[in-house]
């Protein structure tokens, strides 16, 4: 009886050890860690960053190259100002653009950077000036529904001119 309980304890310990190894592997390889090596900080201003939170990914061509570290409102322009922390090895052209993109219809949002073609490079602390704000699915659906109901209300009965019973031009 004692040998069986020792075997069960040993098997449980092995299972816990394997689970711990998988947990450590998942945490270190999840891509949620900070920027490795020296990083650079850039800012970008947007009309709307709806659904984007600090810690969101910054990607170039779908590859994570940094994260959003801060967001605030500029009290003068009322634009959302994002602070982005990027891999320090990147040399982004000064005409690069940033847009708030979505992972899918119901997915999270991230900042997508599209590198430009300028010879000038953005310095640490620089600003990405070409931006495209988040597109709100709710707003688009609301506009579509409004346009559909407006179209039906104004052109509902097209035969209101009093010529309902007149013969066609070809005669009877």
pLDDT in tens, 100-159: 988 877 778 899 999 999 999 999 999 999 998 877 777 778 888 888 887 776 554 444
The mean of the pLDDT values for the chain is: 81
Indicate the SS3 state at residue 84. Answer: strand
pLDDT of residue 5 exceeding 70: yes
pLDDT of residue 45 exceeding 90: yes
pLDDT for res 59: 94
For the residues of 3-40, what is the DSSP string, one character each? HHHHHHHHHHHHHHHHHHHHHHHHHHTSS-S---SSEE
Distance CA 99, CA 22 (A): 35
Work out the end-to-end distance of the chain between its first and last CA atoms, rounded to an integer number of angstroms. Answer: 106
pTM of the entire predicted model: 0.61
Indicate the SS3 state at residue 143. Answer: helix
Domain ranges of the chain: 39-140
């Amino acid at each position: 009886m004692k040998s069986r309980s020792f075997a069960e304890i040993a098997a449980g310990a092995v299972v816990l050890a394997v689970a711990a190894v998988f947990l450590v592997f998942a945490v270190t390889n999840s891509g949620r860690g900070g920027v490795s090596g020296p990083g650079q900080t850039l800012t970008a201003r947007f009309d709307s960053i709806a659904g984007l939170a600090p810690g969101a990914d910054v990607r170039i061509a779908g590859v994570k190259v940094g994260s959003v570290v801060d967001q605030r409102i500029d009290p003068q322009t009322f634009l959302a100002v994002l602070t982005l922390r990027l891999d320090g090895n990147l040399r982004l052209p000064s005409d690069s653009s940033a847009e708030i993109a979505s992972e899918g219809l119901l997915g999270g949002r991230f900042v997508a950077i599209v590198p430009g073609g300028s010879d000038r490079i953005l310095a640490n602390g620089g600003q990405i000036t070409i931006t495209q704000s988040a597109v709100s699915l709710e707003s688009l659906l609301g506009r579509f529904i409004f346009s559909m109901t407006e179209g039906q209300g104004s052109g509902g009965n097209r035969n209101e001119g009093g010529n309902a019973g007149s013969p066609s031009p070809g005669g009877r």
